[in-house]
């Protein structure tokens, strides 16, 4: 059996995650530990543990941060009420919201000002969805999956528009939109695609591999929406099996039974070192032949949050 690994590209860190992680690291260097972070800065257990080891303290809400201290808001974005709570507690805030999520927040505010009802396609309870919906309380309805689209009952006579969480499956979102458009022919599209470039690119890369793979391994955490989607997309596009893991040691030996070709990718919040560990683990079991399958080249970079750049400049670090 000719064992091989098809390694998806692009994979791993996107520009928004890279920016968010560096933001916490630079804040720790500049202000000293501890720096507080509301929610997980990105949805990856390894990244969170690494930042905790450097002095970051993760909290669920701003009322857990001592008055006057520094708090970083996660890449997933927060509702305006969170900014207000932080101001009340005199917290120094650094907003590491991904600029692509910020774009959706702007869209919500704009459509809300037009008195539209917004159907937000996304997963109820996800931090990004809660933050986005919080931009226009009472005017946003969360559409969670196909059943949500089939059953939503908008306010009669209201202008309707749909928006989406940035980390969804492209295919699933299009299916939800198709149902909404069939039910509400006048529903308005967003001005541009909300699903982030990195989510789309990583899905395209795993689609190119899945039909050739006996097994697909996705490195990513269970609470990472885009990582979970990658594992699902792999099965939808022909992989015989698909598993989501945080670390190489979670791979089960029996998964490799009859697996000649293994597809490997990682979610947008996963550092490359974790993929390297999986490649090493597989090589030790005969999968040393690695072929990179590139769907698209990425070059996007985001600048650090303005609040942090200002302080770095003042300290002479930039």
- Positions annotated as catalytic residues are 128
Tokens of 28: 């720790």
- Encode 21-33: b = buried (16+ Cβ within 10 Å), e = exposed: bebbebbbeebee
DSSP 8-state assignment for residue 192: S
Beta strands, E only, 159-300: 160-164, 215-219, 242-245, 261-266, 290-294
Half-sphere exposure of 280 (CA within 13 A, CB side): 9
Q: Are strands 215-219 and 160-164 parallel, antiparallel or unpaired?
A: unpaired
Q: What is the DSSP string of 90-114?
A: T-EEEE---HHHHHHHHHHHHHHHT
């Amino acid at each position: 059996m000719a064992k091989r690994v098809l390694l998806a590209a692009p994979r791993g860190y996107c520009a928004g995650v890279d920016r968010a992680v560096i933001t916490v690291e630079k804040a720790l260097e500049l202000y000293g530990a501890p720096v507080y972070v509301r929610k997980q800065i990105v949805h990856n257990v390894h990244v969170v543990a690494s930042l905790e080891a450097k002095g970051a303290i993760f909290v669920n809400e701003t009322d857990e941060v001592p008055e006057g201290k520094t708090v970083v808001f996660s890449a997933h974005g927060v509702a305006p009420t969170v900014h207000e709570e932080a101001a009340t507690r005199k917290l120094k805030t650094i907003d590491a919201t991904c600029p692509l999520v910020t774009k959706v927040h702007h869209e919500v505010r704009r459509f809300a000002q037009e008195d539209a009802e917004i159907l937000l396609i996304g997963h109820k309870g996800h931090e990004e969805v809660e933050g986005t919906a919080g931009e226009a309380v009472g005017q946003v309805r969360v559409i969670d999956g196909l059943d949500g689209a089939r059953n939503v009952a908008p306010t009669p006579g209201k202008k309707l528009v749909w928006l989406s969480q940035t980390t969804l499956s492209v295919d699933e979102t299009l299916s939800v939109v198709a149902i909404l458009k069939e039910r509400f022919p006048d529903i308005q599209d967003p001005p541009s695609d909300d699903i982030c470039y990195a989510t789309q690119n990583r899905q395209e890369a795993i689609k190119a591999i899945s039909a050739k793979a006996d097994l697909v391994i996705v490195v990513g955490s269970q609470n990472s929406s885009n990582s979970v989607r990658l594992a699902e997309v792999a099965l939808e596009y022909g992989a015989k099996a698909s598993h989501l893991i945080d670390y190489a040691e979670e791979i089960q030996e029996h998964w490799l039974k009859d697996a000649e070709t293994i597809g490997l990718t990682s979610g947008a919040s996963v550092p490359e070192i974790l993929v390297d560990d999986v490649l090493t683990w597989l090589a030790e079991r005969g999968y040393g032949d690695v072929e990179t399958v590139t769907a698209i080249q990425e070059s996007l970079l985001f600048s650090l949050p303005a609040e942090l750049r200002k302080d770095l400049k003042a300290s002479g670090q930039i």
